[in-house]
Amino acid sequence: MKKSNKSSSGKAFIILLVIALLFSTIVKILAVSGNNFAFTIDQGRDLVDVRHMIVTHIPRLVGPTTSINGLLLGPFYYYFLSLPFIIFGGNPASFVYWQILWFQLAAAILFFVFKKNNSVLAYITAILLLLSPVGFYTGRYFWTANTMPVLTILFFSSLFFAFWNKKPKSMIILGLLSGLSLQVEAAFGVIFFPFALLVFLIKKTPFKQILFLASSFLITIVPQAIFELRHGFIMTKTLTAGLSGSSGVLGEKLSMSTRILQRKAVFVGVLRDSNHVYYEYLGIILLVALIFGLYYLIKGKTKVIRDTILLSLAFILFTGIFYLIFPQQVKNWYVLGLTIPVIIFLSASLSAIFERGIRGKIGIWAFILFCFYHVWLAQSDYLNKYALKPSADPSNLSNQLKAIDWVYQKAGGKAFYVYSYLPSVYDYPYQYLFWWYGTNKYGYQPADISYLPNQPEYIKNSDIFWTKKISADKTSPTFLIIEKDSENPERISAWRGNFSKLCRLETTQIVDNLSIEVLSSCPK
């Protein structure tokens, strides 16, 4: 009888896991189909840098800039993007699908790590990860911070694998993932290595194993160390000045009372991002899971579930302590990865309840079906309201490509100049898109492209990429691509002043906040 129940439970779990995998994959792809995703200064800048690395064959020592002026991440994210860049010729859509693919793969990897030790835990964790809100909205555009949940899943996969297997390679993988996570979102990834080190020191792991962990971690920071040596430790000085308070680069220091309130709001957001169930219900469910999880830590007999509860809860507490010590504001994107240990902790507690008998099983099945219902409500609503309708966002890639199509069609195969006003000032998105899309579709490039004529070089070795320009003259049209800047309308007026000697021939509106003007020499 027990074998029959176990067999039927296993089949039910398999069916639900397959449904979760198919549903989440289809919805994530539909949400970004037709180039319906953001392509802002962050994406444009990153692809300009990746393009330079691939075309020139010059390795990168540092990666994207952080929200702190003067601090750069490690280069891993650029190498992470390099494979789809090479395979798909730089198509921006490939990077979004690449990010979606890796979230699904990461969930599968954690599933197999758990399945070797506890099948129920593996199925529940994988299902809740695939159905998690953070998995859906971080797949809607590619960005360093949106990659953090993927690396967090992989970090916990390697952490549990190393915890249950005393093999050198498991410690090496854990060290590498800790270091690579630091290169993707430093404000969260900085927690990984100290936490892993503390776990294995408390476990009294042999020194040789600890050495494997530390050495593999240190390898990942070699590129940034070389960069620092070459540039007089410029980032170290910036960070030190910020932490000491002699510089304001990290932002205003918060009092402890303000810190607690701000962290509470951030942590509530993390809990919301862990499940689609309405927070009024989810809060109660998480509280029950916490009480049962703590009880199981003391009374539980299944080592795997107890270890999972212990490590995930310890990581959450470790992170909370770290952010209480951290004196500045914690941004929402810092903690995107924190949803992962919350989901793992919830899954472990639910797995323990599942093993408590028929009532426990009924309760867990009901909760999983409840999750599916709320995921369906949330994602079908999102698709109908946003994803399957034309976007009005001027930074949406589909709208930017429409703007480029309009420019080339009006140019009619002849030379032209194009200048872009974006609230972010630098025109990285159009710098990249005219190079990739314009060149591939229309066979030639603008005679000049910038945010203003005659600007100092702000893209390194840019002439390498503009090899298909057509010579222009004073009669060639000038196109102004303008994103509305509601916060700084005076900037647009000042920017337009640079073209005051030209006359406007035509204006078109791509969407409400994105317009194009055609200028030419004024008749005498």
Whole-number Å distance between alpha carbons of 108 and 225: 34
71 and 105 co-located in one domain: yes
Could you give the residue ranges of the DSSP H alpha helices within 273-396? 279-299, 303-325, 339-354, 358-382
173 and 280 co-located in one domain: yes
Whole-number Å distance between alpha carbons of 156 and 342: 12
Percent of the chain predicted with pLDDT > 70: 95
142 and 265 co-located in one domain: yes
Whole-number Å distance between alpha carbons of 309 and 21: 24
Q: In this predicted structure, what is the pLDDT of residue 486?
A: 86
Residue 10 belongs to some domain of the structure: yes
Q: Is the CB of residue 241 less than 8 Å from the CB of residue 247?
A: yes
Residue 464 belongs to some domain of the structure: yes
Per-residue tokens: 110:
């954690």
Q: In this predicted structure, what is the pLDDT of residue 4?
A: 46
Amino acid at 249: V
Q: How many folded domains does the chain comprise?
A: 2
2, 78, 317, 353, 362 from 359: Cα distances, Å: 15, 50, 31, 9, 5
- What range defines the domain where residue 426 resides? 397-521
Whole-number Å distance between alpha carbons of 391 and 404: 16
Task: Answer yes or no: is pLDDT of 452 > 90.
Answer: yes
Residue 347 belongs to some domain of the structure: yes
Q: In this predicted structure, what is the pLDDT of residue 417?
A: 96
Task: Answer yes or no: is pLDDT of 258 > 70.
Answer: yes
**Mean pLDDT estimate for the chain:** 91
Q: In this predicted structure, what is the pLDDT of residue 70?
A: 67
Residue 392 belongs to some domain of the structure: no
Amino acid at 339: T
Residues 324, 328, 331, 333: is their CA dihedral positive or negative?
negative
377 and 425 co-located in one domain: no
Q: Is the CB of residue 328 less than 8 Å from the CB of residue 94?
A: no
296 and 340 co-located in one domain: yes
Amino acid at 281: Y
233 and 330 co-located in one domain: yes
Collapsing DSSP to helix, strand or coil, 216 comes out as helix
Top-confidence range, 98-107, 216-225, 272-281: 98-107
- Where on the phi/psi map is residue 389: left (φ > 0), alpha (ψ -120 to 50), or beta? beta
32 and 124 co-located in one domain: yes
Residues contacting residue 37 through CB under 8 Å, at least 6 positions apart:
31, 93, 96, 140, 141, 142, 396, 397
Residues 142, 146, 147, 149: is their CA dihedral positive or negative?
negative
Q: Is the CB of residue 417 less than 8 Å from the CB of residue 451?
A: no
16 and 97 co-located in one domain: yes
Task: Answer yes or no: is pLDDT of 240 > 80.
Answer: no
Residue 245 belongs to some domain of the structure: yes
Which of these three, 387, 422, 440, is where a domain ends? Answer: 387
Average pLDDT over residues 340-359: 92
Task: Answer yes or no: is pLDDT of 153 > 70.
Answer: yes
Which of these three, 387, 411, 442, is where a domain ends? Answer: 387
267 and 128 co-located in one domain: yes
**Tens-place pLDDT, residues 3-46:** 445 566 788 999 999 999 999 999 999 999 999 999 999 999 99
151 and 64 co-located in one domain: yes
Residue 474 per-residue DSSP state: T
Residue 210 belongs to some domain of the structure: yes
308 and 438 co-located in one domain: no
Average pLDDT over residues 61-79: 85
Amino acid at 385: K
Which of these three, 367, 387, 407, is where a domain ends? Answer: 387
The pLDDT confidence band at residue 243, using thresholds 50, 70 and 90, is low
Collapsing DSSP to helix, strand or coil, 183 comes out as coil
Q: Which residues pair with 506 in a beta bridge?
A: 518
**Tens-place pLDDT, residues 182-202:** 999 999 999 999 999 999 999
Q: In this predicted structure, what is the pLDDT of residue 503?
A: 93
Residues contacting residue 392 through CB under 8 Å, at least 6 positions apart:
511, 512, 513
Phi, psi of 405 (to 5 degrees): -60, -45
Length of the chain: 524
Q: Is the CB of residue 395 less than 8 Å from the CB of residue 40?
A: yes
**Tens-place pLDDT, residues 276-324:** 999 888 889 889 888 988 888 888 778 999 999 999 999 999 999 999 9
Whole-number Å distance between alpha carbons of 473 and 470: 10
Quick one: which of 360, 307, 293, 373 has its CA closest to 9? 360
Q: In this predicted structure, what is the pLDDT of residue 246?
A: 53
Percent of the chain predicted with pLDDT > 90: 73
Residues 394, 399, 404, 410: is their CA dihedral positive or negative?
negative
Q: In this predicted structure, what is the pLDDT of residue 245?
A: 58
Task: Answer yes or no: is pLDDT of 249 > 90.
Answer: no
Whole-number Å distance between alpha carbons of 269 and 335: 9
**Tens-place pLDDT, residues 460-518:** 888 899 999 998 888 899 999 999 988 888 899 899 999 999 999 999 999 999 999 99
Task: Answer yes or no: is pLDDT of 332 > 60.
Answer: yes
Per-residue tokens: 182:
């630091």
Per-residue tokens: 442:
């229309």
Reported pTM: 0.94
Residue 215 belongs to some domain of the structure: yes
**Tens-place pLDDT, residues 364-395:** 999 999 999 999 999 999 999 888 888 999 99
Residue 25 belongs to some domain of the structure: yes
Collapsing DSSP to helix, strand or coil, 417 comes out as strand
Q: In this predicted structure, what is the pLDDT of residue 346?
A: 95
444 and 325 co-located in one domain: no
